[in-house]
Structure 1
Amino acid sequence: MKMFQTFVLIILAVVVLLSCSPNDSELPKPPPNIVWIVSEDNSKHYMRLFDENGIETPHIEQLAGRGIRFDRAFSNGAVCSVARSAIISGCYGPRTLTNYHRNIAPAAMPVSLQMFPAYLRKAGYYTVNNAKEDYNFIKGEDVWDESSPKASWKNRQNDQPFFYVHNIGTTHESSLHFSAKEMQAHKTQTNPTDYPVQPNHPNDSVFRYTNAYYRDKIQQMDQQVGAVIAELEKDSLLDHTIIFYYGDHGGVLPGSKGYVYETGLHVPMVAYVPPAYKHLSVWEAGDATEAFVSFVDLAPTVLRLAGLPVPSQMDGQAFMGKGLTKEVLEKRQTTFGYADRFDEKYDRVRSVRVGRYKYIRSYEPYNYDGLLNNYRYKQLAYQDWRSKYLEHELNETQKAFFQSRPAEMLFDVAADPYETHNLASDTSHAAILSQLRQKLNGWVTDMPDLSFYPEYYLLDQAIDNPVAFGQAHLSDIAHYAEIADLALVPVTEGKAQLIAALTSPDPWTRYTALMTCSSLGSEALPLQDYIIPIMSSDSLLINQVKAAEFLGLTQSADPADILVRCLYKSKNPTEALLILNSIALLASTSYHYHFDIKVDELHLDVRQDKMVKWRLTGLGLRI
């Protein structure tokens, strides 16, 4: 009996101990390691995991099978430095003056905000970048423990958590800079007839080959993704490491990288969360989600995964980490995009996608997509596309790339993934058009979007504190946005406002009004009596340029002499680059104006500028 009582007491003690001890899920866990594997220049459209017209990527597919597939992941900018600036800061580029590529001068980070790896490092993480940075911000010294082609998590202290970024350049745009001779000599592993050419491209041998070659590169990239995962496994790290794979913005087939179309912004993304950290994700292994995530969300997500607070200055919202609910995340259905200067080519386009609908607002629609840009036109497919246009061998869908755009476009991207059928004038979509227009306008004015001023002025006035400049000029920017939107109504409705704007004492009101008139085209010709005086006597050189540009676009006067005279007067290379954009546009085959530019008459600082040289070379001038 005594032995039995002793046994019962032991059993009771065990029960009490078990009931008092925390279970495994409640035991404190070390912070997870976090790894990003980033491939350059990949949109989701060319990978089978996301699109039926895509190539197999077995390693990424395997990662998705054990993780989460994000079917609605978006870059906010459509080119490297702009996209990566949003990632590293968690902020939209038009608010922080990081929306131009390549940056002429780096912008200061918002006051009291650091690049997010600095917060991880301060909390004890080993922060590693291998190896591309490419930020349009001034980089602090406390961001990375290592940032180089040899940087590795292996150099951390024992048991130190790490954040590691691995960049893969195999699919970068430069990989498609092959010649016609090289195309003939090299056979692709992918069959060129296996993947249909997208409808806005000419269906010819050059595009079929480029399609196949690019998919070859994607498969090579996939092997490199697999190698990073294998190295983590070799080091026994998979059980403690959250892994993301994503493309750093859209792909590089013509009309994608650098443009706010889906092929420029909609990226592949997969995340693997090991079982020990499944409480940090609302999704289960093997799930796919259509919750919208954007690049501004990546910084707050990593901080939340690491258990750190998210700075209030960030625009993004975490989509993983403690305290989130699936119900709330799945309701996220909005993403914003932007495209401005790409090297020497200026444009200004904004986009918003809500669910299946995409709204694109072009503030300078006369700057057509295919306007010459030296780096893009190193690609044989770009050259082929342009040649076909000049030879009148394209259908209406294919030649739109070389023609001015409507100021606003609306697409049902579920039914029209390559955005070839504009629904903006379809009365059955009037409600969704109005809804998305208002949503974009609210975003542009609330940020606010600094690009209502020209870049050269922002570099002089705002570069040291872009966010403060934007807040100080909030009402001015809202006013400029209102004037810009007069391009969306008939001139008869907005005539009085445009006249007031063209005669305003504020030079930037006049600047915006001139571009609005150019957007309206010949419809705004009744206003030329207010525009001609600006061309000859405005206090701002750029306003004289924009007035001459309007007269050239409407073919009511030859703008060549006034534009060349303004170019010679400019002492600022960035201002001169903007003037040269107007010259390149009006010298193109759409307008055929002749510009007699004597390089020796350019200001020394202007003619020595790298991007000015690119533009002058494109105009056929010897530097």
Structure 2
Amino acid sequence: MVSLKLLSKNRFQFTLGLLLSMAFMDSESVKANEIDKPVPATPNIVFLISEDNSKHFMKLFDPNGVETPNIEKMLESGLLYPNAFSNAPVCSVARSTLITGTLTTRTGMHLHRKIKIAPMPEGLEMFPAYLRKAGYYTTNNAKKDYNAVEKDNVWDNSSLKATWQKRPEENQPFFHQETFHETHESRLHFTNDVMMEHKVQDDPAQVFLFPQFPDTPLFRYTVAYHRDKIREIDEWVGKKIEELAEAGELENTFVFYFGDHGGVLPGSKGYLNETGLNVPLVVRIPENFKELVPYAVQEKPQAFVSFIDFAPTVLQLAGLEVPEQMDGQPFLGGGLNKTTLEKRDETYGHADRFDEKYEMVRSVRKGKWKYIRSYQPYYPDGLQNNYRYKMMAFASWRTLFNEGELNPQEAAFFKGKPVERLYNLEEDPFETKNLAANQKIVLKDLRRRLDKWMLEKNDLGFFPENILVNSAMENPVEFGEKHHEKLKELIAISDWATRDWDEVNDKVIESINSGDELERYWAYTVACTFGKKMGVDYARLPDFKNETSAIVQLKAIELSGRIGLRNPMPALTRWLNESTDPVASLIGLNTLVYFKDHSPYGKRFSSASLELKVVNDEVKRRLAYLDGTW
């Protein structure tokens, strides 16, 4: 049963002492509304969330960043977290994690955009609902973007007019969440006209470029433009802090400023790089509730915190029980120990479908080490995603690649990736030097940790989305629990890709010839990873025309193209034209676009050959690209 904790003796003594001391202050030095208000039993909590920005653009976190004086001022009475992470690098998935306190790969909320919405796990509410039950006034202004069913018990008001200032009782505690939109990816979808008219504050020739970016005037202008947007965040945060101060609520309110996931520049949003996951986080600590924090103000906790931890932290600060169904742990609140918190040095990331683009990628960071595991590494990071390529800098990057104008570091984005990548972030913060071949002990340890985490959390990414939509979305958590043992087998099969072909060839071929549907699907995926390295072993596989499962047959066709012995486009086209499942069709179109844009087979493909029976919005995106109308 959720209940509020009683005011402690220490809290009473602190409050009494504060009021007595304030009575002797010069009346001009303290606002009357801050003196007259009694200290409440529980704190207010405010989330100020900016869209699409990593920590790398604020000088508070990175020497190459811009000055943000209002956010910096928060630190005078607050904490700065250099190791704060979104678990996913895109809005809907990250925000679903925040509001539920769950890992979305376990709860079926991990795919952006949702084709079928997931229910909340049984017995779990979105965290503001618990606050409301405890007497809080809860407001959201106004972005939600959840991949889960939202009940009407979450918000007192969620709208563009929602504000904590409209609570019915002056002394009612509040939780308020507000989003700043001007840093969203869409703001960088500007045109040449904007570049001609809008003068950026920084000299583009002097801005810091990420090392994987081509050094062009367009990239430099785009970075400078984004830096101006970061300054706008700071102005907005300053206004919101001032609103609380003027109302006499600032010293009763925990204010969290953070980004909703990593940055918007190419290769950040939508990718498990640090620039896609490592968000800025500053928490202002109210004077009246500083005993709830195991740190002194102005400290910079090294503890790793991620979005699964935010909901438990809010409930802990409010004195409420944290539901067992939440996957994270509080990092602020009564009863926590600094020494224990500082031992937290791990975080996990996941990337799956973004709009119409598929690729399953997982990551684990432990201390300075970052491990990224790609499950379809032959798909380039630069695989077409219509929304990403609306940014002129993004599109120009691909043009330069196609023209052969990039160096190897810049061109890597448009080529296949290693199965495993390992980075020492202290020496290589932008993840350009893969140490997987040099640090075998670290590599194996992080691989093991990732496998263990995915199994413990019943990672639904191992089930193709058409299977999830057709069989799992009534209760994704239950589906994962029911298929726990099967998941263990699939993780083991997928890990064959981390070994040499000669070590695993017989296992892969046996699974393709005699495994069940999911075993065959993953065995074919592993074979696709090896591609031409299969050599003569490809002849040991069955003819894909005889495959009874449509989704497995798709992978078999994909393998035929990866081997390079035949043009896969005619078979892919037939497969797509025969498909009666729009989700399976979307997966098939991902394969088709891969071969069209990243193989010699695409030159002979014509979109006129496609006559799809069923489509959804994401399929329409792919068709628009193939038709040249996107």
Asked whether the two chains share a fold, i.e. TM above 0.5, the reply is yes
2:561 matches 1:549? no
**Aligned equivalent of 1:116, options 127, 131, 134:** 127
- The reply to whether residue 579 of structure 1 matches residue 569 of structure 2 is no
Q: Which moved more, 1:331-340 or 1:542-551?
A: 542-551
2:503 aligns to what?
493
Hey, what does 1:524 align to over in structure 2?
Answer: 534
**Which of 102, 126, 142 is the matching residue for 2:153?**
142
Q: Confirm or deny: 8 A CA contact 1:564 1:597 kept in the other structure.
A: no
Shift of 1:550: 1.1
Task: Kindly indicate whether residue 620 of structure 2 is the aligned counterpart of residue 610 of structure 1.
Answer: no
Deviation at 1:492, TM superposition (A): 1.2
Show the counterpart of 1:3. Answer: none
In structure 2, what is the Cα distance between the partners aligned to 1:591 and 1:70? 47
Contact 1:131-1:167 within 8 A present in 2 as well: yes
d(CA) in 1 for partners of 2:341 and 2:610? 59
TM-superposed deviation, 1:210: 0.6
| Structure 2 residue aligned with 1:351 | 363
Question: Which of 511, 514, 525 lines up with 1:515 in the alignment?
Answer: 525
Displacement of 1:496 in angstroms is 2.1
Q: Is the 8 A contact 1:69 1:288 kept in 2?
A: yes
Q: What does residue 217 of structure 2 align with?
A: 205
Number of the residue aligned with 2:445: 435
Q: Structure 1 residues 57, 20: CA separation in 2 closer, same or farther (over 3 Å shift)?
A: closer
Structure 2 runs not aligned, ≥5 long: 1-8, 18-38
Tell whether the 8 Å contact from 1:502 to 1:530 is kept in structure 2 after alignment.
no
Query: Quick check: 2:607–2:627 contact (8 Å CA) kept in 1?
Result: no
Contact 1:545 1:562 in 2 (8 A): no
Alignment correspondent of 2:118: 107
- What CA deviation, in whole Å up to 9, does each residue of 1:192-235 have, x standing for no partner? 12322111000110111011000001101210111111111111
Is structure 2 residue 99 aligned with structure 1 residue 88?
yes
Cα displacement string for residues 239-265 of structure 1 (whole angstroms, at most 9, x for unaligned residues): 111100000000001000000000000
Alpha-carbon distance in 1 for matches of 2:523, 2:467: 17
**Correspondence 1:61 to 2:72:** yes
Partner Cα distance (1:21, 1:75) in 2:
34
3-state SS, counterpart of residue 289 of structure 1 = coil
Pair 1:46–1:590, CA change in 2 (3 A) = farther
Letter in 2 for 1:349: V
The equivalent residue for 2:246 is 234
Deviation readout 1:458-479 (Å, 9 max, x if unpaired): 0111101111000100010110
Look up the equivalent residue of 1:578 and give its one-letter code: I
Bigger shift: residues 518-527 or 215-224: 518-527
- Cα distance, 1:345 vs. partner? 0.4
Q: 1:24 aligns with which of 14, 18, 24?
A: 14
Moved more, 583-592 or 258-267: 583-592
Shift of 1:575: 0.8
Change (3 A) 1:595 1:531: farther
Following the alignment from structure 2 to structure 1, what is the Cα–Cα distance between the partners of residues 263 and 448?
A: 29
Question: Is 1:453 aligned to 2:488, yes or no?
Answer: no
Find the residue that maps to 1:581 and give its secondary structure. helix
Equivalent position to 1:406, from 399, 415, 418 = 418
1:309-328 equivalences in 2 (<5 Å): 309-328=321-340
Q: CA RMSD in A?
A: 1.7
**Correspondence for 1:483:** 493
Comparing 316-325 and 274-283, the one that deviates more:
274-283
Aligned to 2:403: 391
| TM-score (structure 2 length as normaliser) | 0.93
Query: Which shows bigger deviation, 378-387 or 549-558?
Result: 549-558
> What corresponds to 1:222 in structure 2?
234
- The answer to whether the 8 A contact 1:55-1:219 is kept is yes
The match for 1:72 is: 83
Comparing 178-187 and 237-246, the one that deviates more: 178-187
2:32 counterpart residue number: none
Task: Give the superposition deviation at 1:283.
Answer: 1.1
> Structure 1: which 5+ runs fail to align?
1-18
Match of 1:274 in 2: 286
1:287 match: secondary structure: coil
Secondary structure of the residue aligned to 2:509 is helix
Equivalent position amino acid for 2:211 in 1: P
Q: CA deviation at 1:527?
A: 3.2
- The Cα shift of 1:620 comes to 2.9
The question of whether the paired residues in 2 share the 8 Å contact of 1:389 and 1:402 is answered with yes
Bigger radius of gyration among the two: 1
Q: What secondary structure, in the 3-state scheme, does the structure 2 residue paired with 1:588 have? A: helix
**1:373·1:618 contact (CA, 8 Å) conserved in 2?**
no
Aligned equivalent of 2:3: none
Preserved contact between residue 564 and residue 595 of structure 1 (Cα < 8 Å): no
SS at match of 1:59: helix
Percent identity, please: 46
SS of 2:42's equivalent in the other structure is: coil
281, 299, 303: which one aligns with 1:291: 303
The amino acid across from 1:105 in the alignment is K
Deviation for aligned residue 1:600: 7.0
AA matched with 1:492: D
What amino acid is aligned across from residue 241 of structure 2 in structure 1?
A: I
Deviation at 1:94, TM superposition (A): 0.9
2:310 alignment partner AA = L
Structure 1 length-normalised TM: 0.94
Q: Deviations over 1:95-137 (max 9, x none)?
A: 1111110111110111101111100001100010000000000
Q: 2:576 touches 2:610 (CA, 8 Å); kept in 1?
A: no
Partner of 1:15: none
Q: What displacement does 1:505 show?
A: 4.2
Q: Distance in 2 between matches of 1:562 and 1:292?
A: 48
How many residues align structurally? 599
Q: State yes or no: 1:566 paired with 2:575.
A: yes
TM superposition shift of 1:23: 2.5
- Once the two structures are superposed, what CA deviation does each residue of 1:325-382 show, in whole Å capped at 9, x if it has no partner? 0000000000000001000000100000000010000001111100111000000110
Identify the residue that residue 374 of structure 1 maps to in structure 2: 386
In structure 1, the partner of 2:483 is 473
- The separation in 2 between residues aligned to 1:487 and 1:499, in whole angstroms, is 13
More divergent stretch after superposition (178-187 vs 118-127): 178-187
| C-alpha separation in 2, matches of 1:423 and 1:493 | 22
Asked whether the equivalents of residues 564 and 596 of structure 1 are also in contact (C-alpha less than 8 Å), the reply is no
Q: Shift in Å at residue 271 of structure 1?
A: 0.3
The match for 1:16 is none
**Runs of 4+ off more than 4 Å:** 19-22, 25-29
44, 63, 66: which is aligned to 1:33?
44
Q: Which amino acid aligns with 1:113?
A: L
Q: Is the 8 A contact 1:96 1:107 kept in 2?
A: yes
Contact 1:242 1:273 in 2 (8 A): yes
| Greater mean alpha carbon deviation, residues 389-398 or residues 185-194 | 185-194
Partner SS state of residue 158, structure 1 = coil
Instruction: Give the direction of change, closer, same or farther, for the CA distance of 1:467–1:530 in structure 2 (3 Å limit).
Output: farther
Query: In the aligned structure 2, how far is the partner of 1:375 from the partner of 1:325?
Result: 44
In the alignment, the residues of structure 1 paired with residue 574 and residue 236 of structure 2 have an alpha-carbon distance, to the nearest angstrom, of 53
The corresponding residue for 2:23 is none
What displacement does 1:622 show? 5.7
3-state SS of 2:514 partner: coil
Q: Is contact 1:365–1:406 with CA below 8 Å preserved after alignment?
A: yes
Structure 2: distance between partners of 1:271 and 1:193: 34
- One-letter code of the match for 1:278? K
Cα distance in 2, alignment partners of residues 225 and 25 from structure 1: 28
- Alpha carbons 1:69, 1:271 under 8 Å: kept: yes
CA deviations over 1:507-562 (Å, ceiling 9, x no partner) = 110000000011112112333234452x2111111211111111112212110111
Q: Is the 8 A contact 2:70 2:237 kept in 1?
A: yes
C-alpha distance in structure 1 between counterparts of 2:513 and 2:206, whole Å: 59
